[in-house]
Structure 1
């Protein structure tokens, strides 16, 4: 990488870091060009050069943290042998991510990210295909082995991650009636009952 490319990459990172800080401090309404250039120390021209617009910057920020979250989920599955332990690992990793990266998790669970997902869901999914593939392969492997119910992949994904996302979103919204440590203990077995191929 040339020195110019390195400088460009550093500038883009500066803008992304600043955008998360501004979002954390002021919410979506605070995401103005003036606030972003002031927080980053980067010129207006550089912002537009690297991201095209404030929306472009925020979309890149959402993608950056979505990639990190998916990476953590994939990593959590690497040392699991059964579907049940895999579900426990996924729940633990997701909730740990929310605790360790609270502001980024707030962005990922925000109405801003929801609108982006609704407007451009297929493209988002396509760009994350490499990250999503190991999760889909893990689920399919356990469907084939007879551990997980033979449900369509989107339904399995919703049954496994849906409750975790809902709990994380509630906690991130500031409602203090959710204990994530308790959820990490309780949710895996409850989720397992909903996706296990065993008849109860």
Structure 2
């Protein structure tokens, strides 16, 4: 694997600053100092602090989406797809807890900011890919009757709630301990 790009180094420095000081308390100067980048480089790559926040958010959800896409295979069974949604989410969060915390706490800010439309479009594209994969199983009768808008919440909701508690330090159990159980609960909740 090659050396991270300057842009990636700045984003990782920003994430470290946001994790240590909070998003609102972090200044562009703090990010500059942490990354070793010049102010000119920061502004060249991002333009302002809000765009750094947006870029970091998009990079995180993009990384998770790529991990999920890499696990999805043509002809995958309904149960395997549902389980993958849960296990991929847990695996990504465990590997990137600061990034996950950042994403969980900053969605509204990013949606309302300069990159909000980019985020909405990324979510629409990912949603379409998932919907196409699920449609085959839905048509085959593999899932119980649920409004499509509710399906994602039923599948990932319990896992997301547990992970939020773990990220906030409200549980000692590690998400990996319940990875397979949460995947089974998701499948049991939606199977026909």
What TM-score, normalized to structure 2? Answer: 0.85
Match for residue 162 of structure 1? 157
Tell me: CA distance 1:188–1:62, structure 2 relative to 1, closer, same or farther (3 Å).
same
CA distance in structure 1 between the aligned counterparts of 2:22 and 2:122, rounded to whole angstroms: 26
Tell me which residue corresponds to 2:107.
113
Whether the aligned pair in 1 keeps the contact of 2:68 and 2:85 (CA below 8 Å) is yes
More RCO (CA 8 Å, sep 6+) = 2
**In 2, Cα distance between the equivalents of 1:115 and 1:151?**
30
Q: Which region of structure 1 is more displaced relative to structure 2, 173-182 or 100-109?
A: 173-182
Rounded Cα–Cα distance in structure 1 between residues aligned with 2:101 and 2:134 = 27
- The answer as to whether partners of 1:167 and 1:178 remain within 8 angstroms in 2 is no
Equivalent pairs counted in the alignment come to 188
Q: Distance in 2 between matches of 1:31 and 1:169?
A: 23
Which runs of 5 or more residues in structure 1 are unaligned?
1-8
Corresponding residue to 1:14 among 9, 13, 17: 9
- Alignment partner of 1:82 is 2:82: no
- Offset of residue 26 of structure 1: 2.1
Q: Any idea what the Cα deviations from partners look like across 1:73-104, whole Å, max 9, x if unmatched?
A: 22223277321222222211111111111221
Structure 2 unaligned regions, length at least 5: none
Normalised by the length of structure 1, the TM-score is 0.81
**8 Å contact from structure 2 (residues 57, 110) kept in 1:** no
Residue 50 (structure 1) aligned to one of 45, 48, 54: 45
After superposition, what is the alpha-carbon deviation per residue over 1:138-166, rounded to whole angstroms, capped at 9, x for unaligned?
22221111101343332111211222222
Shift of 1:171: 0.9
